[in-house]
Amino acid sequence: MTHVLETGFEIIESDNPDDNVKVKGYNIINGELKLSSDGKLFESHNPARLKDCLGEFPLSTKEDVHDAIKAARNAFSTWSTTPAPTRGQIIGNMGRLLMQYKDDIVRVETREIGKTLKESAGSVQEAIDTCLFFQSEGRRLYGQTVNSELPDKELFTYRRPLGVCGIINACNFPAAVPFWKMIPAIMCGNTCVWKSPQDAPLLSFMLTRIMHESGLPNGVINLVHGKGSGAGQYLVDAVDEGLLNKISFTGSTSVGKMIGEVCGRNLVSASLELGGKNPLVIMPSANIENAVEGAYWAGFGTAGQRCTSLGNLIIHEEIYDEFVEKLMDKVRSTTIGDSMRNDGVLYGPMLSERYATDFLKTLEMCDSSGAIKLWGKGRITSENKPDNFLGIPEEGVYMWPHVYDNVTEDMACFHEEIFGPAITLVKATDFEHALYLANASPYGLSSAIYTNDRLEAYRFKTGIKAGMTGINNSTTGAEAHLPFGGVKGSGNGTRESGIWVIESYSYWHAVNDELSGKLQLAQMDVEEIDIEAADVDYSSLA
């Protein structure tokens, strides 16, 4: 057992000089580095170069997860009574350390999940922005004073922490999203058990080490590694066992519904940020070149592996052919490859083999739905690759960009989320039809419209059923001080980011302070005020 602050990363030696650095990873429980109780491990591999193993990590058992929860529960009493400005100062330290180590974190994120270096830098910057934002919120964790209806009595409200929070996030934003969750959680005085994404354990290990370096007390944030069906499920089961006070989850709608059911029957708070089939509407008044850029990035940035990636591209029939022609010119020129080896890459590999398998299954659904495939041939191989692929395809998990035309509302591919580089094209006859189509899927996360008609923009943002809307912007892009989340199948109404997220990690405590020295009963002892007729002669006004 080694204390988290007393050792550097342990390197697993290799006899092969061509091997990259391979790290021995640990759970971090109560500030200590621990292996799994049964010694089992799993590996993390670079999806751009599958033979590149980043490290081995504990396959956490139920005992490990319970140890982490116990540590969080023990730390709660001290952390929750630590002054909020002090908690904010530690969070500010985290942000400054993230800035100090940013280049290293970015390279680890790109190596572990295959995002381009530019996109990984954006993810890490989002974590930095979150820390700097909530540092100051430590001095603004406001309650209110309320006037009493009785004399010699004061009324107050306070924000109180919930307790121990279980944190589960997907691997596509492995720096930004867990910080969206844990930073406001600990700022409010909660403690956390974080189940790292199984495809990004090294980055999670690195970030947790940095959080402890900032002065965070042991037990406030505890990290356990493993699979969703293992450590993740053990964390959810702990709600039924009465051990957790909150679950915050980012992932699929099906898993989110399961977690919501468990939390609901135990009256435990749940934050659920789920999938999307995000619509983007193009109207005739739009700047076509700008709209093409926005749609192209929304669909294929991050290889379409954002929960806010473009789903249905809804184009007015008047400009349909022109728009599709210009969009396809860009799609056919897409540069794909490993950004750690090549410049100018739009997107890299799928996040892992697991995500690649799921993506290929959704392509089968698109192919069988009746839509017309304009571009895309599945997985990239040496015998099956687009002109602008850079590198050796078989080294990683790379996919063609896919575009499906003539998609209609009765097709499965209109409604189902496709998590990968694929978009569906839908034709609209007018604005009302476009808005109807934008609302017709079961999801409601992000949305966007390109138009220079201000009335159309207004009617879209007031008529769309989504948690977020872009006007003359893509469906992607979130800032650390704006609420993030969806409605319908995309979430349960909770939000990440900004001051609004504080509602998800605290509860209101009302305090009634009686100063009169006697029992005063609200509503019953209030002096009644008689209504008296005004002593005015109105006859002179006739």
| DSSP per-residue string spanning 47-61 | TTEEEEEEEEEE---
The two tokens of residue 445 are 């996360």
CA–CA gap between residue 184 and residue 138 (Å, rounded): 9
Residues shown for the chain: 542
If we measure between CA atoms, which residue out of 449, 512, 436 comes closest to residue 158?
512
Q: Can you list the positions of beta strands (E) in 381-492?
A: 402-405, 422-428, 443-444, 448-450, 470-471, 487-488
Contact by Cβ (8 Å): 216, 239: no
Helix, strand, coil % (nearest 5) of the chain?
35, 20, 40
The two tokens of residue 107 are 């390279």
- Pick the catalytic residue: 192, 307, 366, 413? 307
Contact by Cβ (8 Å): 342, 406: no
CA–CA gap between residue 121 and residue 118 (Å, rounded): 5
CA–CA gap between residue 509 and residue 68 (Å, rounded): 28
Contact by Cβ (8 Å): 281, 311: no
The Cβ of residue 322 has, within 10 Å, a number of other Cβ atoms equal to 13
Helix (H) or strand (E) holding 353: helix 353-368
Residues paired with 508 in a beta bridge: 159
If we measure between CA atoms, which residue out of 346, 300, 297, 290 comes closest to residue 323?
290
Q: If 0-12 CB within 10 Å is exposed, 13-18 middle and 19+ buried, where does residue 249 land?
A: buried
The two tokens of residue 67 are 């140890």
Eight-class DSSP state of 381: B
If we measure between CA atoms, which residue out of 109, 45, 46, 48 comes closest to residue 380?
48
Tell me the backbone φ, ψ of residue 512, rounded to 5 degrees.
Answer: -115, 105
Catalytic site residue 366?
no
Q: Tell me which residues are annotated as active site.
A: 307
